[in-house]
Amino acid sequence: MKLRCVIFDLDGTIVDVPYDWDKIRVELETQGIPILHFLNSLEEPERSEKWQILERYEDEATRKAELKQGMHELLDLLTKKGIKKAVVTNNSQKNAFYLLEKFNLNFDYIITRESGLWKPSGAPFLEVMKKLGLKKEECSVVGDSPFDVRAANEVGISRVFILSENRERFASTDVELFNSVEALRQELEKLLKKTE
């Protein structure tokens, strides 16, 4: 089926951000639970204290973020072909809007963590499909982490493109790996030509 929408992750996908998630998890003592779920399960005052720690790391990383090379060209291709573009991020609205504005990026729909819909659940992807009136077969996901893959799998989006050089991390999945945005752009260009 024709591709009509690409749903992007933000951190590590659209922008390079210097997060050390292992260090953050240790400091927050998340015990293997996804961070946002873990923080919301805590009682006060620990809950507020640990949210502040996460937000401090996020603010710092966001300020240091750099747009991935080739991202404007990739997004321009999609715009030219009439493909919708969405962002689904577990980051905050404040940080997401800061980055999109800073790098002058336009998207048709943006879901941040304030929605309460968080990856690795597929719920935020379902929300994008509902809002933009799309079927799962018409969507593709671009991400950089196993959370993106799990969320896509949960809702049956089968075209998942991962920007990563770490083949081992995705060895048990059937996603397509790309080591640059430019390589992904070329693949999407080919795909779009085929389905025109």
Binding site for Mg ion (CB under 5 A): 9, 11-12, 144-145
Closer CB to Mg ion, residue 10 or residue 28?
10
**Minimum separation from the CB atom of position 19 to Mg ion (A):** 9
**Minimum separation from the CB atom of position 131 to Mg ion (A):** 21
Size of the chain in residues:
196
**Minimum separation from the CB atom of position 87 to Mg ion (A):** 11
- Closest residue (Cβ) to Mg ion? 12
- Is residue 190 within 8 Å of 170, Cβ to Cβ? no
**Minimum separation from the CB atom of position 144 to Mg ion (A):** 4
Closer CB to Mg ion, residue 179 or residue 195?
179
Phi/psi of residue 8, each to 5°?
-100, 140
**Minimum separation from the CB atom of position 104 to Mg ion (A):** 20
Closer CB to Mg ion, residue 28 or residue 142?
142
Q: How far is CA 5 from the centre of its chain?
A: 14
Closer CB to Mg ion, residue 47 or residue 150?
150
Judged by DSSP in three states, 79 sits in helix
What residues have CB less than 8 Å from 170, skipping those under 6 apart? 146, 149, 162, 164, 177
Give the separation between CA 115 and CA 111, rounded to whole angstroms: 7
Closer CB to Mg ion, residue 70 or residue 192?
70
Give the separation between CA 119 and CA 123, rounded to whole angstroms: 8
